[in-house]
Amino acid sequence: MNKDSQLSGDADRSDTRPILIIPYMWIGDFVRNHTVVWVLKERWPNRPVDLLTTSLCAPLVDYMPGVRQGIVWDLPRSRLAVGRQFGLAKLLRERNYGTALVLPRTWKAAIAPALAGIPERVGFVGEFRFGLINRWRWGEKRLPRFIDKNAALAQPDGAPLPPEWPVPQLRVPAEEIARWRQANGLSAGAAVALAPGSVGVSKRWTYYPEAARLLVERGLEVWVVGGPAEKGLAQEIVAAGGPGVRDLTGNDLRNGVLAMAAAGVAISNDSGLMHIAAALGTPTMGIFGPTSPYLWAPLNGLAATVVQDKSVLSCQPCQSTICRMNDHRCMRDIAASEVVAIAQRVLSEAGARVET
């Protein structure tokens, strides 16, 4: 028997100690953390699962089935913030967690669970976190995808990866969507949500303004969804598309969740909003350039994966934030007319499914 008796073998259904997940805090990665929740709930159906979250990601927790609560605590990215770490540790100690899964491999991510004295602190060795992590896992580099690395920590040590992981889910009540539509003066018809932002300029498709114009010409309502960093992009898209385009960018991620839940189809770069839309069950088109759909597309599956032909661009995917070889052709050579045609097909297929 492995020394980690609680994290090996079959589930102990009498165990009711709460579990804390320390997740990655980028929006898309945070959504994918929900797979880890499902794996834990399958093993320990009677153990509550909480998520540490930032203020930015906190609205997502409200729509995640299987999560008891989010622990909102903002830690700065650029410094250790010892006082904040001790404050978080005090809060965690009061919650009496039995297990903490530390998904990030950084030293800083493991400090508060260790200071709180959580008995089982599971994570990859990472930045030589001996003493901070007391249930070490090895072999991270042998796991092919980001989700494999994270969800494997919720399994017994040494367990083989399953053929498929449970997919993330975000569930928004229909009445909440209806109130959101009314508050924003939006019709009940199907709309196309555009998510032009991303972390990294190289992942941004070039032709959202032209696509918005073409969609409006075809009689479709268009929404631009994103955070404050996308406000400038939204203004360009509205200027190109005219009155049929609404700028729904803002500071509250909840607004983005509701927009994606209400949309008939979402068109997105490889970004957090793409993962949100897919987890909501909204038909989602993901546009990929420098990143690999195999590694980074949602587990939920996409209504369409739009990517340049690899036989034309041998450099793709490069995973680079700056194009140094082909002047961003992996994105520039995807025409707006092509994306709009796919969006119309996806909307038509979605409508047919609703009717049947």
Q: Give per-residue pLDDT as tens, 227-268.
A: 999 999 999 999 999 999 999 999 999 999 999 999 999 999
Q: Is residue 275's pLDDT more than 50?
A: yes
pLDDT for residue 322: 60
DSSP assignment of 33-102 equals HHHHHHHHHHH-TTS-EEEEE-TTTHHHHTT-TT--EEEE----SSS--HHHHHHHHHHHHHHT-SEEEE
pLDDT for residue 7: 46
Cβ atoms of 147 and 162 closer than 8 Å: no
Q: Give per-residue pLDDT as tens, 137-161.
A: 998 888 989 999 999 999 999 999 9
SS3 assignment, position 246: strand
Give the span between the Cα atoms of 258 and 255, in whole angstroms. Answer: 5
pLDDT tier for residue 356 given thresholds of 50, 70 and 90? very low
Q: Give per-residue pLDDT as tens, 316-329.
A: 665 555 655 555 66
pLDDT for residue 35: 98
pLDDT for residue 100: 98
pLDDT for residue 70: 98
Q: Going from the N-terminus, what domains does the chain have, and what CATH number goes with each?
A: 5-152 (3.40.50.2000), 174-355 (3.40.50.2000)
pLDDT tier for residue 289 given thresholds of 50, 70 and 90? confident
pLDDT tier for residue 332 given thresholds of 50, 70 and 90? confident
pLDDT for residue 187: 87
Average pLDDT, rounded, for the chain: 89
DSSP assignment of 95-144 equals HT-SEEEE-S-STGGGHHHHHTT-SEEEEE-TTT-BTTBSEEE--GGG--
Q: What is the mean pLDDT of residues 212-238?
A: 96
How buried is residue 333: exposed, middle or buried, by Cβ count under 10 Å (0-12/13-18/19+)? middle
Q: Which has the minimum average pLDDT: 7-21, 50-64, 296-310?
A: 7-21
pLDDT for residue 2: 38
pLDDT for residue 354: 43
Q: Give per-residue pLDDT as tens, 162-197.
A: 999 999 999 999 999 999 999 999 988 889 999 999
Give the span between the Cα atoms of 148 and 162, in whole angstroms. Answer: 10
pLDDT for residue 294: 85
pLDDT for residue 325: 56
pLDDT for residue 1: 32
The whole-model pTM stands at 0.91
Q: Give per-residue pLDDT as tens, 82-124.
A: 999 999 999 999 999 999 999 999 999 999 999 999 999 999 9
